[in-house]
Each structure stands twice: as C-alpha cells, then as structure tokens.
Amino acid sequence: MVSTTAIALLVIGLVVGAGVGYGISALTVPTTTTSTTTTRTIYIGSIEPLTGGGDAVYGISFADAVTLAVDQMDANLTQAGNPLQFKVISEDDMGSAATAGSDLASMYSTDNIHVVIGPLTSAEVAGVLQTADTDHIVVLPPAATAVSLRYPKGTDNYLVRPGQPGDQYEGSALAQTVEQLGAKNVVFLYRDDTSESGTFNASSALMSAAGINVMGVEYQPSQTDYGSIVTTAASDAQTMLSSGGTKSNTVVVCACDEVTEDQNIFTHAMSDTPLSSLRWFGIEAIDTPSLYASSTYGPWMSSVNFTMTTPAAFSSPQLTYFNSTFTAMFGSPPQPYSNYAYDNAFIAMDAILLTGGQNNGTAILSAIYLAADHYFGATGTGVWLDGANAQTFAIYNVVEVTPAETTIQIGTYNGATNQVTLTGS
C-alpha cells in the first residue's frame, strides 16, 4: 500500500486530458497496489444561474465547463489506476444571492460537498460566504471580481478567487483608457450591485483625479425596462455638451453586467441623440458576441466605437484544447470566461489530490494555495494568490468593436506596472 505521504507528492503541470500534454496534472500515483480496487467518489459543487435572466447563458456554459473538467480528470485517474473519481452536483441559483446561499447549505448537508465552483456574480458569492466559512466549504468563483470580497488570507476565510483579477485592476484600466483617448466629460452608467458599484467608485475617483468631469447614473438591476435610465444619461450628456463639452471629449461609460439589461439599455440609446453621437466604453461583461456580433446591436456598437477593457485570454495549447473539447462535448463553443470555471475545477480537484484524497474543507483550503500557485491552464495566464486569496496577475486587453461585428485589440493594461498602453484607436 502506498503511504499517504507518497500519495500527496503529486506532479503539478502534466496533462489535462488523458494522453494530452496540456494544462495541470490530473495524474497521481495509484492508491493501491492490489489488483482489485473499490472506486471512491468525491462530490464537488457547481452553483451558477442556469435560469432566470441574461446571466444564464454564462451560468450554463460555466457549469458545462466544470463538467468537462471533471470528466477529463476522471479519465486521467482511471488511466493512472487511481480508484478515486469526482462527480459534479450542479445547482441553479437563478441569479439570487439568497438562493445561492441555500443551494450551498443543501449541497453540504445532502451531498457532503466541501468545495464549490461558483457562483457567478459578486453579489451571489456574497450570499454564500456565511455558510462557507461556518461549514468550512471552499468557494472558488470564476468571475466574481468585487473589491469588497477581498478578505485577509486565513483559516476562517473559505473564499478563494484564482480566476479573473479584481475590479481594482479593471477600474484603473478603464480610467486610464478613457483619459488617454481624450475624454474630459464622462456620463457613467453603472449597475447598483456589489461589483459594478465598486468599479464605478474606483474608476470615477481616478478619472476625477485626472481632471475629468464625471456624472454617475446608477440603475437598479432586474428592471423590465431601462428607458428612464437612458433618458437621464442623455440629459446629463446634453448638459455636458451645453457647458463647453464637445462630441470628441464627451463619452459614455457603461459598467453594465447582465446581457438582457445591456440589450435593453442599448436599444434605447440607439435611438437617442446625443448618446449615439458619443464614444462608448464598457467593462468585460459587455465583451460578448451576444452583443457585438448581433445584427441588432453590433452595427451601433461599431458606430460609437464601443471600447472595452477585458481580461486577456492568451492563445495557448491549453485554451485550444479546452475550446475544442468543450465544443465536441456540448455542440457549441463556450461562452467567454468559461475557461476560468474549467481551470478552477481543476485547481479544486488537484487540491483534493494533494491532501491524499480527503473530502475535508479545512484540508482542501490548506492545499489550495499550492495547487493554485503552480497552475497554468486554459486562461493562458499563471495563477498567484495574494494576501486576500485573490488573483494577482492582471493583464487586460483594450478592445474596440469593428464594422465587421467583431473586436480588435487597441491596447493593453499591465497590472504589474499599472499602465495602459494604447497601440491604435
């Protein structure tokens, strides 16, 4: 029988899929030398909005990415002769923080789950924190970037974010991009939620410090129509233009997060003057083909030179492998940022393997740092956690919508130097 210590000595950095040289190790030494083994299954959770709004298109894709990762890990373990297998329990939080919290409590009590991938938004993540910390359940959200979720690393904090960089980086990237492209007046539409309010606070403060006049327009999520919000933004824009601003130095920034809300806002803005005569900027949530590749919204987004800051997704064999295997399994390509869910699932499973196969949240949390900090996967960037259990490696692309209803890169933000460099506009 191989010792527990030997089991824990995993090699990080081998294959993601059986026989494929991509990603982080899913392989470990066999846990027995006998000819007969008994399969043991550890359940991991996935909580995403699968219904109930525009974020469901992302939630479904994120959940599918977790399923893909688990299938590939199980194939590797079988090939290695390890009887341990993983299985996903997936729950639909319908975009509700309260539902996400109850989903996590149910998973823990019913399925003995000690690690969860998700939820999607920062508000939903905030809804699971009390249960996670109380019951020692490690939470790995792929896309929750709110600065308010930063907590000191410690044994009582079970939220770990090795996915997208935090909003403090995007706030700086957005502010610098707006300034470098000549804006002096900004109408700033932002969603009143945990993440986008933080983005507004961070970026508007930097813009104001640079001498830019900022007028914020906050809107509540989950409304049936945003016509009145767009009217307010148009009025603010007209005030700026009437007070000495020009169409070349007056812009609109949209910290908008949910696709159906964005579509409604854009529909009203498309028929509005002066909003359609100004340049628009936005955050990574708007960088989706559901918007810019749409025949309804794409031409307008191109006409206003819609410019977005979005986490860099570098071309790599790992990303190519993820995209191809995801498409083969589910019949269509993954939604943007699904690779973060895929990578987080592998980090979770690698941490469990590092413990020798313990299904224990405290043990998993202790191992997650080694698993994460030595991981390079489908996101194309290495992971390194800071003192608040969040990703420190921040590279953003600055992209612009083209008349071909796609995007081109016009700049880069380097989080290490906190500097935006524009290469074209």
Q: What is the CATH number of the domain that holds 140?
A: 3.40.50.2300
Residue type, 51: T
Specify whether 176 is located in the same domain as 157. Answer: no
Specify whether 286 is located in the same domain as 418. Answer: yes
Domain assignment of residue 128, given as a range: 4-164+314-373
44 within domain boundaries = yes
Specify whether 269 is located in the same domain as 406. Answer: yes
Specify whether 177 is located in the same domain as 289. Answer: yes
Query: Does the structure show a pLDDT above 70 at 17?
Result: no
Give the residue among 249, 152, 143 at the shortest CA–CA distance from 196.
143
Specify whether 15 is located in the same domain as 88. Answer: yes
For residue 157, CA distances in Å to 99, 145, 354 come to: 21, 16, 20
Specify whether 330 is located in the same domain as 198. Answer: no
**Residue 186 confidence class, pLDDT cut points 50, 70, 90:** very high
pLDDT in tens, 150-170: 888 876 899 999 987 888 899
Specify whether 245 is located in the same domain as 346. Answer: no
386 within domain boundaries = no
31 within domain boundaries = yes
Specify whether 197 is located in the same domain as 281. Answer: yes
379 within domain boundaries = no
**Residue 82 confidence class, pLDDT cut points 50, 70, 90:** very high
N-terminal to C-terminal alpha carbon distance within the chain: 63
Residues 317 and 408: their CA atoms lie apart, in Å, by: 22
pLDDT in tens, 298-316: 999 999 999 999 988 788 8
331 within domain boundaries = yes
Specify whether 136 is located in the same domain as 187. Answer: no
Specify whether 202 is located in the same domain as 340. Answer: no
370: buried, middle or exposed (CB in 10 Å: 19+, 13-18, 0-12)?
middle
86 within domain boundaries = yes
pLDDT in tens, 103-137: 999 999 999 999 999 999 999 999 999 999 999 99
Query: Does the structure show a pLDDT above 90 at 175?
Result: yes
Query: Does the structure show a pLDDT above 80 at 6?
Result: no
Structure tokens of 18? 């059986």
pLDDT of residue 243: 95
347 within domain boundaries = yes
pLDDT of residue 328: 98
387 within domain boundaries = no
pLDDT of residue 340: 94
Ordered strands of the 115-117 beta sheet: 84-92, 40-48, 115-117, 138-140
Are 291 and 269 within 8 A, CB to CB? no
Specify whether 299 is located in the same domain as 328. Answer: no
Specify whether 413 is located in the same domain as 289. Answer: yes
Sign of CA dihedral 231, 234, 397, 145: negative
What are the beta bridge partners of residue 116? Answer: 45, 139
Number of domains observed in the structure of the chain: 2
CB count in 10 Å sphere of residue 242:
8
Quick check: pTM over 0.85? no
Structure tokens of 55? 């974020």
Compute the CA torsion angle 168, 127, 46, 119 (nearest 10 deg): -30
Q: What single-letter DSSP state applies at residue 286? A: G
For residue 305, CA distances in Å to 183, 248, 282 come to: 13, 12, 11
